[in-house]
Structure 1
Amino acid sequence: MKPLTVQNLTVITAGHLVQGSEEVLIQHGAYRLKQVKRPNTVLFMSKRIVNWKDLEPFYPIVLVTDRLYSQYEIPEQIIIIKVNNIDEAYWKFVNYYRNQFDIPIVAITGTSGKSTTKEMIKHILSADKNVASTPLSSNSRTASLQYLMNIDDDTDAAVFETAVGSPGDIKLAGEYFKPTIGIITNIGEHHLNYCKTLEGYIQAKGEMLDIISPTGVLILNAEDINTSKIDLSRFKGRIIKVGKHESCDFRASNIRYHENGMLFNVHHKKKLYEIFVPGFGEHQVYNALAAIAAIYEMDLPISLAAERLPSFKKLNKQLQVFKGINNSILIDDTWNITTTSLEAGLKVLNALGEGKKTIAVIGTITDLGSWGYIIHEQAGELISEIGVDVLITIGEHASIMALHAIEAGLTSPVYIFKNSTRVYKLLDEIVDENTILFIKGDMYSKEVSKLADDLKIKKSSTSE
């Protein structure tokens, strides 16, 4: 955080200093008690604080409040700024803090690939720039203030992941970050428990258009069907498209699998660049294209991306390749599961498994609400369409995709389990050195993730 004094904060919030010194320096921010973890934190809080003892290790604390306290109930180490309306005061502070920095800020959303794309951008920029970002796959809406305050006078650029759990999440993130560059990686079918319908989910992702600066840039996957359903007419900035089509501003061609990653060519303004990016799958090419487009908009050359991307480290449990049980090849893809990421993973399985026996172990897709049955049916259709030599599902809802894959024409052996207990024995019997084993689940499916870990012969990824 760029520090400021209590005196400055009092002016910013249009408040009145009730208690304490105006010279105290503020170095951290919070709007929940559990976010106060260090001294010199400003806490915006309307709710009455009763238990001050737990906060003693973090004194001095600056409390901005619209609540009236008696002079006897607050410790003297608490600096109090009284405001008329706590919400107005809080957003005055947020806007003041964000507006201090004239730097490129990237906001990224998408059903799949947003964390990877964010980390790629950060990796490229970090060669010679100080970059603030959301950490790894974190994107909590309650932590936006902390993410924003990671920006200070030494920051050259920022890259923030903005997820969608409910409609309005991206707009709220925009109130904090005010991005100059926005990216939508793709839109699948996820978080339908709150967005209710696919159309509602698409609209929620489309909030990205509303938060980008009018002079800013929106980077889109030109080949993503659901992204193409967003009404772009209200967007005032420039639109940059990435993909394989001739009309794309950043176009990929000659895409091929290479050792531990993907090789491809990028066409931009009649120039050609060869790019290697670690991580298997055509989806990884799209992630890299979006990252390249973003850094180019920051006036950095594509040649820098070509130089830096080969040393990019893939995120844990995202299509990582290991030596597995019985000398097989094991693909651990147990960080997240959507139909979008499932399709990408199955395509990688078939590409790497050419000439081998392919086995897919798949867990339940979460966060679907009443759409659970339909989406699992669609997953079954995907499995049938792409194909696999053996299908194993774990979990009651995952059985829907197995049964529907059979109905859709999958003739391969299918095994349905409620839990992973008997899966270990089955795999030990059917997996050999000519097998490639794909395990797909998410962070909430602990037993599927544990299965992947238990079946690895060595813990270091062969794809890094």
Structure 2
Amino acid sequence: MFEKTIKQACDMLHVHNDLTKFEDTIIKGVSIDTRKIEKGNLFVPFKGENVDGHQFVRQAIEKGAGAALWDKNVTNPPEDLPVLVVDDPLLALQSLANQYRHELDLKVVGITGSNGKTTTKDMVASLLGTKYKVHKTQGNYNNHIGLPLTILALPQDAEVAVLEMGMSGFGEIELLSEISQPDAAIITNIGESHLQDLGSREGITKAKLEIVQGLKEDGLFAYYGDEPLLQEQVKDLSLGRIETFGRSEANTIYPVTIEMNNDGSQFETSLYEGQTFFLPVLGQHNIHNALAAILIAKEFDVTVEGMKEGLKSLKLTQMRMETSLGKKGENIINDAYNASPTSMKAAIGLVSELDGVNKKILVLGDMLELGDNEEEYHLEIGRMIDPGSIQQVYTYGRLGELIAKGASERFEAENVHAFQDKKELAVMLEKQTQSGDLVLFKASRGMKLEEVIETLTN
């Protein structure tokens, strides 16, 4: 991880105060939370709407922090403490991350997209991990604060960093790309998330393509080639090396054969015909993510056997197609970390295709940040659910009720239930489910459907 003397840190930043008496103090690692301070950390305070982190600087150092940053616009920096007075602590954090990234003998893979970026991150890390010392974004540390913290936490012997890049508006991914300077970049797809902020899918495409702004001149750009909006906007970019993945044979890599079962998928690809890959994750959309990971693994000279092993041993971040067994023997799929119309349709399609189960039950909640057309998107989801493949639909939330309304156009009334109370939903599910049933949970993260899952599993 980042380790410097205070003098070295001052040389990396524009520091306004004299820290000569502290210059030999060692800083090791970075923290923004006094509850998680470790010995030697550089504490970075932020000014929020309700709380100013500067008031916790002394507490952080008393807990073992080696030093702290301090915003020059905040008065009375403590002269008895090792505080580095800078123009802006956030900009200082980002600058340190960028400089540390260049100090390391390191390759960076940047990943963005409306859906599937976390799963693709996990896949890329797993495949590259068969050959390199790989570190990846943890949890949701994929924004203007989280990504710099991820870089500054990288061990000095790290060989590859796989960094997820999220955003809610224009300019955010460009910043992350400029900080991390990726050697390879992926766009998984273009969906509807953040329509509220970006106005259209064309706007989302433009924002996601900002990932190439910091891409190395000889770096590889890989994107979902079946998306017309990406095809159109990529034409206007001056990029050296571009490869695509998807179902169409026009892509650099596409699946030649696919065989799906309840344990995962087996597939062959156009690049390695005759070689069968096993993916222990449900859903055809995840095969597309795996194709992106294979492109990156090929770029990094991972052998085909290494790719196979990386996919076979894949471990996904929680609540991404996470399977578990309920206390009655129900098969539960928890895909409730995030949701958009694209990802919800994919998840419903997956459940519809699975065999060897009793009843198939959907538990769907609100999809957030969809902008002015959010109600129509939810109605559309309900209308596309096939009663020939799905037996029961349960919804939660104000917008979820519109999914139920759409489903009611095709389902018998007793097979569609809308709830505004999670406890009532959980009680109903407990009564209705039995051994051998398959239950999919899908909603935006803010709906916290895992609380209902806990009722079925504990």
Give the TM-score band, short-chain normalised.
0.7 to 0.9
**Letter matched to residue 266 of structure 1:** T
Alignment of 1:54-93 (within 5 A): 54-55=59-60, 56-63=62-69, 66=72, 74-78=78-82, 80=84, 92-93=95-96
Q: Structure 1, unaligned stretches of length 5 or more?
A: 460-464
Q: CA deviation at 1:106?
A: 0.7
| Post-superposition CA distance 1:257-277 (Å, at most 9, x none) | 145111001221x65421001
* Correspondence for 2:200 among 188, 197, 200: 197
Q: Name which of structure 1's ranges 212-221 and 243-252 shifts more when overlaid on structure 2.
A: 243-252
CA 3–92 in structure 1, closer or farther in 2 if over 3 Å, else same? same
Q: What's 2:451 paired with? A: 450
Q: Structure 2, unaligned stretches of length 5 or more?
A: none
Q: What's 1:293 paired with? A: 295
Structure-2 separation of matches of 1:216 and 1:6 = 34
| Post-superposition CA distance 1:292-347 (Å, at most 9, x none) | 11121112223211123212123333323344465443333222222122112112
Alignment of 1:297-376 (within 5 A): 297-324=299-326, 326-353=328-355, 356-376=358-378
Q: What's 1:145 paired with? A: 148
Q: What's 2:275 paired with? A: 273
Q: CA deviation at 1:239?
A: 1.1
Structure-2 separation of matches of 1:445 and 1:298 = 39
Q: Name which of structure 1's ranges 228-237 and 147-156 shifts more when overlaid on structure 2.
A: 228-237
Q: What's 1:25 paired with? A: 26
Q: What's 1:106 paired with? A: 109
Conserved 8 A contact 1:40-1:62: no
Q: CA deviation at 1:33?
A: 7.0
CA 14–314 in structure 1, closer or farther in 2 if over 3 Å, else same? closer
Structure-2 separation of matches of 1:274 and 1:208 = 32
Structure-2 separation of matches of 1:386 and 1:37 = 55
1:257 matched to 2:263: no
Q: CA deviation at 1:362?
A: 1.1
Structure-1 separation of matches of 2:170 and 2:110 = 17
Q: What's 1:437 paired with? A: 439
SS of 1:399's partner is: helix
| Post-superposition CA distance 1:109-141 (Å, at most 9, x none) | 122211111112222223342222211454243
**Letter matched to residue 187 of structure 1:** I
Q: CA deviation at 1:183?
A: 0.8
Q: What's 1:217 paired with? A: 220
CA 453–139 in structure 1, closer or farther in 2 if over 3 Å, else same? same
Aligned length: 450
Q: CA deviation at 1:249?
A: 1.8
Alignment of 1:383-394 (within 5 A): 383-384=385-386, 388-394=390-396
CA 64–405 in structure 1, closer or farther in 2 if over 3 Å, else same? same
1:163 matched to 2:169: no
* Correspondence for 2:233 among 214, 230, 235: 230
| Post-superposition CA distance 1:377-403 (Å, at most 9, x none) | 232243259952322222221111222
Conserved 8 A contact 1:324-1:455: yes
CA 393–161 in structure 1, closer or farther in 2 if over 3 Å, else same? same
Structure-1 separation of matches of 2:93 and 2:450 = 40
Conserved 8 A contact 1:335-1:442: yes
Q: Name which of structure 1's ranges 241-250 and 314-323 shifts more when overlaid on structure 2.
A: 314-323
Conserved 8 A contact 1:46-1:67: no
Q: CA deviation at 1:178?
A: 1.2
Q: What's 1:178 paired with? A: 181
SS of 2:18's partner is: strand
**Letter matched to residue 3 of structure 1:** E
CA 78–434 in structure 1, closer or farther in 2 if over 3 Å, else same? closer
**Letter matched to residue 169 of structure 2:** S
SS of 2:123's partner is: helix
CA 301–79 in structure 1, closer or farther in 2 if over 3 Å, else same? same
| Post-superposition CA distance 1:195-245 (Å, at most 9, x none) | 233332222222223232221111112224554453442141311111232
Q: What's 1:462 paired with? A: none
Percent identity over the alignment is 23
Q: What's 2:133 paired with? A: 130
**Letter matched to residue 130 of structure 2:** A
1:3 matched to 2:6: no
Instruction: Give the TM-score normalised by structure 2.
Output: 0.86
Structure-2 separation of matches of 1:188 and 1:397 = 18
Instruction: Give the TM-score normalised by structure 1.
Output: 0.85
CA 376–84 in structure 1, closer or farther in 2 if over 3 Å, else same? closer
**Letter matched to residue 286 of structure 2:** Q
